[in-house]
Amino acid sequence: MSINTVLVVGAGIMGGGIAQLCAQQGLNAVISDIKLEFSENAKKRIQKGLAKRVEAGKITADNMNGILSRIAVAGDLSPAKEADIVIECVVEDIGIKKQVFAELDRLAKPGVILVTNTTSLSISTMAEATKRPDKVVQMHFFNPPTIMKLVEIMPGKKTSQATLQAAEAFAKQLGKDPVVCKNEAPAGIVSRILGQLLNEATWLVASGVAEPKDVDKAMKLGANHPMGPLELVDMIGLDTHRAKMVTLRTQLNDPRYQHPKLIDEMIESGKLGRKSGKGFYTYGEK
C-alpha cells in the first residue's frame, strides 16, 4: 500500500499533531473539521510551534516552510476522495464517530483504510457504520504525536490481517515503533494501565491526601516518571480524561475507574487543563 496523502479528521491537539507528524515525514496531510476555521486554527498552532523550533535553532526556516507547504486544511470531508488513508480524531462520542465513519466510507476510494485514534470506544461499532469493516482499525497515537515513539494498533472484530499489517507498516513509515494488540479490548494497553494511575492521582487530591504539585513531584522523583500524573491530566484535558474513565467504568464494570466528584466540579467551572489555561495548574503565555 502506497501512502502519499493522509486525511486527518478532527483539528484538535491530536489531529493537528498527527497531521504535522505526517508532513514532517514528507507526506501530504489534510486537516479537516466541521468548520474551516477550526482547521485553519490547527495549522496556525503548528506554525507557531515550528517557529519556536526555528528560533531555538532546532530546525531551519526552510524546514518549517516545507512542512507547512505539505499541510492543507478543509471544512468538510470531501478530501477523503483523494486520500490514501484516513485518520479520525474527533470527539470521543460514539454517535458522532459513527456518523463520520459512514460519510468517510461513502467518500473514500475502495480499499482505503479508515483509522480511528480512539483510546476507549469500540472499533467494531464504528466499523459497523461502513461497508468495509475489514479495513477499519485503531491506530492510537500518543501526545504529542511528533515526539512519542509508540503507536498502539488494535483490530476490530472484522479487521483483516492485511489491514493490521498495513497499519503497522504505516506506523513505521511515520518513524514510530508500534505494538499490535491481538484482540479488541477497551482502551488497549497504555490507556488501560495509565487511566487507573491518573485516576488514582486525582483521588489523592480530591480526598485531601496531597497537593497536586506534591503528587507530581512524588511520581517524578519516586517512580522516575518524566511528567507528573496531574500534569499529564492537564495536558490530556480533564474532559477527555473523564470521558475515558466513564467509558472504562461502564464497559469493564470496574469501580477502580470511577472518577472523583472533584473532576466534575473542575470541568463545570471551565478548568479543562492546558487548553483552557487552568486545570490542576494555571497556565499563562509562558
Residues 6 or more apart in contact with residue 55 via CB below 8 angstroms: none
pTM of the model: 0.83
Q: How far apart are CA 10 and CA 139, in angstroms?
A: 15
179: enclosing H helix or E strand: strand 177-180
5-180 CATH: 3.40.50.720
- State residue 186's pLDDT score: 84
Tell me the H-state helices in the chain. 13-24, 36-55, 61-69, 94-107, 123-127, 161-173, 190-206, 212-222, 229-236, 238-252, 261-268
- State residue 1's pLDDT score: 67
- State residue 286's pLDDT score: 41
| β-bridge pairing 5-9 and 85-88 | parallel
- State residue 187's pLDDT score: 83
Do residues 33 and 75 touch, judged by C-beta distance below 8 A? Answer: yes
Query: What are the DSSP calls for 228-262, one per residue?
Result: -HHHHHHHH-HHHHHHHHHHHHHHHT-GGGPPPHH
Neighbours of 93 (CB within 10 A): 12
Q: What is the DSSP letter of 278?
A: B
Q: How far apart are CA 177 and CA 180, in angstroms?
A: 10
Q: Give CA 56 to chain center in angstroms.
A: 27
Q: Is it true that domain 190-276 has CATH number 1.10.1040.10?
A: yes
Q: What is the mean pLDDT of each run of 10 residues along the chain (286 residues)?
A: 94 96 98 98 98 97 98 98 98 95 98 93 96 98 94 98 97 97 91 92 98 98 97 94 90 92 98 96 78
Question: Which residue ranges make up each domain of the chain?
Answer: 5-180, 190-276
Residues 6 or more apart in contact with residue 110 via CB below 8 angstroms: 132
